[in-house]
Amino acid sequence: EMKGVIEGACGPYLYQQLPLKSLSPWAACAGCLGMACLYVGSLYIWKGSGQSSRDHPTTLKQRMTSVGIVSVAAPLLLLPLIQPPGQTDGLDSRISLLPSILGVSLEQGLLSWKPPLLAATLFLGPLCLAYLEWAEGIRRHFYECPSNLVFVRNLIVAPISEEVVFRASCLPLLLSGGFSPCACAFVCPLFFGIAHIHHALEGLRKGHPSASVAINTLFQFAYTSLFGAFVSYVFLRTGQLATIIVIHSFCNWQGFPDIDGILNHPKHRVPLSCLLVAGLTSFIYLFGTLTRR
């Protein structure tokens, strides 16, 4: 049988942890690091992939194929850890329990509208800025992808594959390693942040200054880690993989909030700044309520 609601600080956590073999904290972290290495390594198995642009059509197709395979393989690596209740410890029994561990069980519900709405409140100011620019005929690069393949990667493949690997597969490992749900929400994103450091290689390949690449890499690590903490917490609170995929896709579509564009807007700086603050305030105030199912 499934365990009930996981109690802990900042809970309750509705992710229903199935019986898994106990791991040491180091073994759990090593498993998560292995998942991250598997994901990133799959991007570079193709001949010449480290030399061409990440947006080149051939590179896009190859890498989307790679991470698609990893997204199938990573959950299967959890099978040896599953301990079905009773005497039915067969492969079929373990496979039947996998959907609940991954957050795709009908019993847990597939999708909640609350957490994506919470994410949208954080972008209240940027969304209004984007609307004003759209009305003036200005198009942002992150709203208009340069190709259909980039659109598919950014808004479909990356959100699905990264959430399957870095949340649905890594969080069960950390829980089985004895980490509390609250601790998991902070530890798990570190592996997600580390997995984005490889973007520095493309910056160096393009000849960008090392100092600039280092700063951008540190910023991306911090930003992706904070985002990872948010969706990890939402996953543990809701137990729904689809919910965090929607959040991830929305945030990829938005990019980092254009604070500079708001503060330096020639006509509507004050109202946009107020909306920016209102969005951040609403996000903080509603965080506990809207991270539930």
196 catalytically annotated:
yes
Q: Cα dihedral sign for 92, 93, 94, 100?
A: positive
**Which residue blocks in the chain are alpha helix, DSSP H?**
25-43, 57-76, 91-102, 114-122, 124-135, 148-152, 158-163, 170-176, 181-194, 199-205, 210-238, 241-254, 259-263, 269-290
Both tokens assigned to 47: 């001949």
| DSSP codes of every residue in 249-277 | HHHHHH-S--HHHHHT-TTTHHHHHHHHH
Residue type present at position 185: A
Given 136, 141, 144, 162, the catalytic residue:
162
Given 107, 163, 196, 248, the catalytic residue:
196
Residue type present at position 71: S
Question: What residues act catalytically?
Answer: 162, 196
